[in-house]
Structure 1
């Protein structure tokens, strides 16, 4: 957070990635966010396999009790399921889904659930899989409910291509903190040299739009977007 503040980042999305007990971990995230509720947007982490059968209950608690704004799923644990997508649809939540390079799965689930917005971190691959980057860029162009974030994308030209082909309205600034330095990740967006209104979308406007209609939010959305990181 010190790094984010120094970089001029006003709001931060937080979640408890890769935990053995996501019900407990989500409660911990809620406690952290309660210390500075104007700073944080929280996403509820779920394990598609281990939490099967209680995902809706977990997300319901996170949204209605703590004001969470999205769902986080990691393919390394288990692929996203219909239970997750249907829960996201019921609460009008975006799904931040790390596909670990397996872009083909987005074709199926995003098409089956057009009402659910999917955010693909790392433009599809933290491991620098150029094939995944190209596939996700193509999906950004074709699928209206698929978005991507910029965190950890090492080949800058793919970020340029994503904006050029899909538009700034399909890309979100991501930092992947604390593993990556948010100021370095933010500089990628500055180097795109976008018009101010497009840069504002990438730096917070798109996120604000995607979380605006969450069911039973805890607090009112800010009237104007500020820089937000995933």
Structure 2
């Protein structure tokens, strides 16, 4: 089986130790890598993962340029990257154009670190521009063990933007709502053609029967394998999908074909 891990994180060598330690101390989770790109590649090799998507987040408007430049620098045949804009950046729309020009795949948002709700009206011009540029909008979804208890990115909020922006390609991580599984079934699973899920780090938090029900409702052709590495071992999500009573074709879609189709990789 081939694997494309659509949800991974890494930092520059200079920042990795401090960044990973801070998040590990907050969450109590032992990271699977040292947070570096070389650490991610080692983990990919251990699990037979051919390609991965890096999802950096600009937690301040001032970080956009540096983060996006680094993402463009590390893009390669095995590492794909999204860029990031901060919702409060005055030049967010201009930076989206630059993200496109850098050859990045999309734009990563994290509501709990950037302090916004996905369906806030201030975000609408940003979504319109992302759709116009043909980029992917990737969101954290649901609860996050590394942030405060408030949940801003809910399945209901993704339903609202998927409906309002039908030309916007949305990837909602953690099945669109970590820990909000009943709401996923109610509001998002299988409801919108432009809404994709990933399964990053969900192996710790969901029962197999509900996961299978969500995948069946969503359709295996709109679900992406992801680990959220270094915040989970990719082997856990590989085993989780592997043990479900899905067909081999469905597993292939989830493990690599959907990502390749979404990114138009021949």
- TM-score w.r.t. the length of structure 2 is 0.71
- How far does residue 39 in structure 1 lie from its aligned partner after superposition? 0.7
Residue 90 of structure 1 aligns to a residue in which SS?
helix
Match of 1:3 in 2: 43
8 Å contact kept, 1:117–1:210: no
- How far does residue 8 in structure 1 lie from its aligned partner after superposition? 0.8
- How far does residue 18 in structure 1 lie from its aligned partner after superposition? 5.0
- How far does residue 40 in structure 1 lie from its aligned partner after superposition? 1.2
Pairs aligned (count): 205
Runs (5+) with no aligned partner, structure 2:
1-39, 143-152
Q: Distance in 1 between matches of 2:155 and 2:177?
A: 9
Q: Distance in 2 between matches of 1:99 and 1:164?
A: 19
Matches within 5 A, 1:27-66: 27-33=69-75, 37-48=76-87, 50-51=88-89, 53-65=90-102
Shift in CA distance, 39/75, structure 1 to aligned 2, threshold 3 Å: same
Shift in CA distance, 193/10, structure 1 to aligned 2, threshold 3 Å: farther
Match of 2:117 in 1: 79
Matches within 5 A, 1:1-230: 1=40, 2-17=42-57, 19-20=59-60, 21-33=63-75, 37-48=76-87, 50-51=88-89, 53-65=90-102, 67-76=103-112, 77=114, 78-80=116-118, 81-100=123-142, 101-126=153-178, 128-135=179-186, 138-153=187-202, 154-155=205-206, 156-212=208-264, 221=265, 223=266
Residue 83 of structure 2 aligns to a residue in which SS?
strand
8 Å contact kept, 1:99–1:124: yes
- TM-score w.r.t. the length of structure 1 is 0.81
